[in-house]
Amino acid sequence: QVEHVSFGYHDDKEILHDISLSIPAGTMTAFVGPSGGGKTTLANLICRFFDPQGGQVKIGGVNVKNIAKEELMNTVSFVFQNSRLIKASILENVRMGKPDATREEILAALQNAQCDDIIEKLPNGVDTVIGTKGVYLSGGEQQRIAIARVMLKNAPVLILDEATAFADPDNETRVQAALANLSRGKTVIMIAHRLSTVVGVDKIYVVKDGQIAESGSSRELLAQGGLFSRMWQNYQTSVRWKVAKEVQ
């Protein structure tokens, strides 16, 4: 629950203005809109990277300010565009999601995150240390390891910030499959730049200039012929242009 939330990184400049929205448990919600409109800032307030200057954010009816930091971290997980791994084994990187996890639990999370092909090619499998002796992973591969970490944590609320942005086509398919496994049964909030990723979500909030410009399903928003509809037309045009360029 976001209630009349306003926020600015600097006192003299508000980024979000009096935003209110409700996200039911177990649903999939997307924030879309022009770059710099406040989508990521809004998500950051939900997981309490920042506190709003006005209004409040509630999870399960409780103001996030009144939830202990550890409990909040166990409630909300996030996958960013470019998830970073530490210089440690893949096993230890994934274990960060749940420090007392067994090896079997970690291996199951890696399998669910579509990481089998990564593990197979590494000299010591899951015990291979990333960043040593030429062991480097692509952005999409790192993303899948990061998703395994979040799967192991198994928090009920999940925030995805354009989580396939830096994956090449082959990796993107695997990352999408991993995210589908990860999202099952969770309350999911997606920040999306590519509109194709939001077609099937329960509700879309179009964030523009720090306010909710429109909200509804993709079908409802397209029928309205407003900002989302124009964004969709522009997106389709850019996809067709890209395909035509590749064909040439």
Per run of 10 residues, the mean pLDDT along the chain (length 248 residues) is 94 90 95 91 92 95 94 90 85 95 96 93 92 79 91 93 70 82 91 85 95 95 94 85 63
CA distance 231 to 229: 5
Instruction: Tell me what pLDDT residue 245 has.
Output: 63
Instruction: Tell me what pLDDT residue 39 has.
Output: 92
Start-end of H helices in the chain: 39-46, 69-75, 90-95, 103-112, 116-121, 139-153, 169-183, 218-224, 227-247
- State the CB neighbour count (10 A cutoff) for residue 236: 12
Nearest to 192, CA basis, from 34, 49, 84, 57: 34
Which residues have CB under 8 Å from 174's CB, separation 6+?
114, 117, 140, 144, 167
CA distance 193 to 206: 11
Instruction: Tell me what pLDDT residue 164 has.
Output: 66
Sequence length of the chain is 248
CA distance 109 to 206: 33
DSSP-based three-state secondary structure for 194: coil
Q: What is the pTM of this model?
A: 0.85
Q: Helix 169-183 to helix 103-112 angle, to the nearest 10 degrees?
A: 120
- CA-angle at 109, arms to 105 and 113, nearest 5°: 170
